[in-house]
């Protein structure tokens, strides 16, 4: 009796552990490669909203508020720029402005916005 139970236990456990079929492999959730940037963006928005609220309840002086706000906005802009850089494909429909990171003349791409293209030397900026 005890032998039967023991063998059954071992067999069931091994079958469960080792019997992984191809259809058992879970399909991983699609993960955006820029998820950490999106997270960061969300966090800064949250901080900004929080900052506005704290200012409204009078916990911050006017100068503190302005300085912190500008800093946060700059950081946010940096993150937004990074996101655009990583995934430039679908430009926002409303935004007819060209991508400032791509040279309009030779289509060379750069890491940061430039006044003149490092490839063909022509002016990249259409407006400032």
Partner 1 sequence: MAPARYLLWMVLTGLSLAQVSSEFVTADIRRAGSRLACLCGSCKNSVGDCAMLGCHYSLPARQKIASLQAQGATDDAIIDSFVREKGKVALVVPPVEGFFGLAWWMPVVVMGLGLALVYWFIQRMSKPAPVAPVEQRVLDRYKESIEKDLASLEE
Partner 2 sequence: MENIGALSLFLALCLSVYAILGSLTGKWRGNNFLIVSAERAVLAVWGLLTFASGMLVYALLTDDFRYAYVASHSSKTMPSIYKFAAWWGGQEGSLLLWTWILSSYSAVVVWQNRRKYRAMMPYVTAIISVTQAFFLILITVPLTPFEVLAVGKEITTVPDGRGLNPLLQYWSMAIHPPTLYLGYVGFVVPFAFAMASLITRAPGDSWIHTTRRWTLVTWMFQSAGILLGAGWAYAVLGWGGYWGWDPVENASLLPWITATAFLHSVMMQEKKGMMKVWNMVLVAATYLLCIFGTFLTRSGVVSSVHAFAQSPIGAYFVTFIVIELAAVTYLILDRLEFLKSESQLESVVSRESSFLFNNLILLASCFSILWGTLFPVISEAVTGEKISVDAPFFNRVNVPIGLFLLFLTGVGPLIAWRRSSIESLKKAFLWPLAGMAVSMGILFALGIRHIFALMSFGLCVFVTWTILSEFYKGAAAISSKSGQNLVAAMVELTHRNTRRYGGYIVHVAIVIMFIGFTGAAFNKDATVEVKEGGKFHLGGYDMTLTKINSGQNDHYRYVSADIAVHVNGSQVATLRPEQRRYTTGDGSSEVAIRRRLNEDLYLNFAGMANEDKAVIQAYVFPLVSWIWIGFAALLGGTIICLIPSKIRYSFPKTQVLGQVVKEGQPVGPR
Residues within the interface to partner 2 (CB under 8 A): 1-2, 5-6, 9-10, 13, 16-18, 20, 24-43, 45-47, 50-51, 53-54, 56-61, 63-64, 67-68, 71, 75, 83-84, 86-87, 89-90
Which listed option, partner 1, partner 2, none, makes contact with residue 48 (CB within 5 to 8 Å by class)? Answer: partner 1
Binding positions for partner 1, rule: CB under 8 A: 45, 48-49, 52, 73-78, 80-81, 100, 113, 128
Q: Which is nearer to partner 1, 23 or 115 (CB)?
A: 115
Q: Tell the smallest beta-carbon distance from residue 78 to partner 1 (Å).
A: 4
Find which of partner 1, partner 2, none residue 3 binds, CB within 5 to 8 Å per kind. Answer: none
| Contact yes or no for 79/40 (Cβ under 8 A) | yes
If one counts every other C-beta atom within 10 angstroms of the C-beta of residue 80, the result is 13
Reading the block at residue 104, the tokens are 């309009």
Q: Which residues pair with 102 in a beta bridge?
A: 109
Cα-only R_g, the chain: 27
Three-state secondary structure call for residue 87: coil
Which two structure tokens, joined as six digits, stand for 12?
A: 């069931």
| Binding partner selected for residue 118 from partner 2, partner 1, none, CB under the kind-specific 5 to 8 Å limit | none
Question: What's the rounded Cα separation, in Å, for the pair 48 and 70?
Answer: 10
């Amino acid at each position: 009796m005890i032998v039967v139970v023991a063998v059954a236990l071992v067999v069931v456990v091994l079958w469960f552990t080792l019997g992984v079929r191809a259809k058992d492999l879970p399909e991983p959730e699609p993960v955006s490669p820029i998820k950490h940037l999106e997270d960061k963006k969300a966090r800064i928005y949250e901080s900004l909203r929080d900052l506005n609220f704290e200012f409204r309840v009078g916990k911050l002086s006017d100068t503190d508020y302005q300085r912190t706000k500008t800093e946060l906005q700059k950081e946010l802009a940096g993150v937004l720029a990074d996101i655009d850089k990583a995934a430039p494909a679908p430009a926002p429909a409303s935004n007819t402005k060209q991508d400032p990171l791509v040279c309009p003349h030779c289509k060379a791409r750069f890491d940061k916005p430039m006044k003149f293209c490092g490839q063909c030397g022509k002016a990249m900026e259409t407006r400032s």
